[in-house]
Structure 1
Amino acid sequence: MHAQPHEAPVDIRLTEAEAIALHYYRAAHRDGWIALVQAISDALADLDAADRHAIEQRRLVSHGYARARLNG
């Protein structure tokens, strides 16, 4: 079985990063710049969501700790 010119050869395993990059590249109709910008935008959005989640978790832990001291 032969791979198409735009696909990785059959006997090569892509790393997770390479597979993600290939997905973005194909989704951007093989425009590397658009793929890069979209990947970075998605990564920044994920980081922002993780930061918000961490802040919320710290807030919940703080309130839980304060309640435990008041009740204890």
Structure 2
Amino acid sequence: MDSVLAQISGNVSVIGYGLAAIGPAIGVGIIFAAYIQASARQPESAGFNRTWLIFGFAVVEALALFGLVLAFALK
């Protein structure tokens, strides 16, 4: 019976990470949408905005990677 409980625990961890990945996915979508909208409104500031685009993308993806590491650590 113990092996069944361990198997269920591993599956819950993977499902938990899948649910936790929804947040960074939405965050990346919002960041790129804001960049496209800002570049469309003021094309001359696209270079400046690109710096913040990359920074925001890196921060959001770091959160997703922390969630992945945590899912494996708790497994």
TM-score range, shorter chain: 0.5 to 0.7
Other-structure match for 1:46: 17
TM-score w.r.t. the length of structure 1 is 0.53
TM-score w.r.t. the length of structure 2 is 0.51
- Higher relative helix content: 2
Does residue 36 of structure 2 align to residue 65 of structure 1? yes
Structure 2, unmatched stretches of 5+, are 44-75
CA distance in 2, matches of 1:42, 1:65: 35
Which is bigger in relative contact order (C-alpha 8 A, separation at least 6)? 2
Larger Rg: 1
Q: 1:36 offset after TM fit, Å?
A: 1.3
Number of aligned residue pairs: 43
Structure 1, unmatched stretches of 5+, are 1-29
Percent of pairs with identical residues: 14
